[in-house]
Structure 1
Amino acid sequence: MRSTKQLHHKLIKECKNQNAKAQLQLYKTYAKGMLLVANRYMKDIHLAEDVMQDAFIKAFKNIDSYKEEVSFGAWLKRIVINQSIDELKKNKLAMVSINEEVLNVVDDGNWEVDDEVTSEMVINTINQLKDKYRLVLTLYLIEGYDHNEISQILGITEVTSRTHLMRGKKLVKEQLKIKNHAEGY
């Protein structure tokens, strides 16, 4: 019996040879997961579907650049994230840079919330933030990117990424406190 890694290697090799069946098989394997990733950014399932489709087209068009240094899923996920952000930028997403000399950002690293707060509540609260905060929080907390990577992906400075993370975190905590107090009455 073949391992999943061997099967992926064979499918990717076939995709590099423009084999439509292999492309369809890879698409079926990753579509649901990549749709979830796109939807975290787009906040609209129909836009997320479009972004995901465009990302797969881009991936198959550029599959020769995939060198198997990371898993195919990780490589594809990066394409989906970049495609999502490109789409948001196209839709006039305004990323405001902060004057680096004026602002000295200190992140206290405290991500603790009340025990009653669920991860679903945190994600829902993040999804209600302005895009500049939502994108940085999503890339940092959910996708696991660091500020250097976020700055490259979004085309902002690392200081701006840290600032958006700090302000977004503060907004999330405030919203969660308001929700918890409202439910407590």
Structure 2
Amino acid sequence: MTTGFGTALDTDIVRRAQQGRRDAQRQLFETFQRAVLSSLTGLCRDSELARDLAQDVFIQAFDKLPQLREPAAIGGWLKQLTIRTALAHFRRPQLVVSEPEAMPEPDARDWLSQTDWLTQQDDIEQLLSILDDHERQLVWLYLVEEYNHTELAELLGLPAATVRQRYHRALQKLKQRSNT
């Protein structure tokens, strides 16, 4: 049985929720509440903020649900809405500043080996706490939510090479901290 955003929900329930039926909306909420909250907690570090954002996600979901064309895609649609809500919360106006000393793009084998190293750590949550919000979100979206660098680049509105470099730097930061 699939869990999280991959949980199958009867398309009739989704259709009734699209029509504004409260009982169907409640079923949708109960089915995906844990997945939404889990993703947001991982992205935000703050359980109170995650609960606030989860509420925002479901308010937006019920408002936009009539626009969903394929009821069977509810899980993926809700996952995208969850991630975009979290990123919108943390998005700040960014000044265009040149990257400090441009690093060569990391070799794919290098960042894959660093990713393998990170997933073998005992307390990933504690280790990720040393990262700033943007670094943590990038690492979380890649490792936990399984977005690839191209998808992250599109989601964040950045070039894929920049996403890979920032991910690589975040992993280096984690590795340095764990060695001390």
* TM-score (norm. length: structure 1): 0.79
In structure 1, the partner of 2:3 is none
CA contact 2:44–2:50 (8 Å) conserved in 1: yes
In structure 2, the partner of 1:53 is 55
Q: Secondary structure at the match of 2:10?
A: helix
CA contact 1:11–1:22 (8 Å) conserved in 2: yes
1:123-134 equivalences under 5 Å are 123-134=125-136
Show CA shifts across 1:46-82 (max 9, x none): 1111111111111111113323386422221111111
Unpaired stretches in structure 2, ≥5 consecutive residues:
1-6
CA contact 2:36–2:79 (8 Å) conserved in 1: yes
Say if 1:61 and 1:116 are closer, same or farther in 2 by CA, change over 3 A.
Answer: closer
In structure 2, the partner of 1:37 is 39
Cα distance in 2 between the residues matched to 1:115 and 1:171: 15
Structure 2 residue aligned with 1:117, among 114, 121, 128?
A: 121
Cα distance in 2 between the residues matched to 1:134 and 1:114: 13
Range with bigger deviation, 49-58 or 127-136: 127-136
In structure 2, the partner of 1:64 is 66
Percent identity of the aligned residues? 26
Cα distance in 2 between the residues matched to 1:11 and 1:169: 42
1:1-185 equivalences under 5 Å are 5=8, 8-68=10-70, 71-89=73-91, 92=92, 94=94, 102-107=102-107, 108=110, 109-111=112-114, 112-113=116-117, 117-118=121-122, 121-178=123-180
Structure of higher RCO (CA pairs closer than 8 Å, 6+ residues apart): 2
Q: Secondary structure at the match of 1:61?
A: helix
Unpaired stretches in structure 1, ≥5 consecutive residues:
179-185
**How far apart are 1:123 and its partner, in Å?**
2.9
Say if 1:162 and 1:174 are closer, same or farther in 2 by CA, change over 3 A.
Answer: same
Specify the code of the residue in structure 2 equivalent to 1:110: S
Say if 1:52 and 1:77 are closer, same or farther in 2 by CA, change over 3 A.
Answer: same
Q: Secondary structure at the match of 2:131?
A: coil
CA contact 2:19–2:66 (8 Å) conserved in 1: no
Say if 1:28 and 1:62 are closer, same or farther in 2 by CA, change over 3 A.
Answer: same
Which protein is bigger by CA-based radius of gyration?
Answer: 1
CA RMSD of aligned residues (A): 2.7
**How far apart are 1:27 and its partner, in Å?**
0.6
Show CA shifts across 1:4-39 (max 9, x none): 84x521110101111111111111111122111111
**How far apart are 1:97 and its partner, in Å?**
6.2
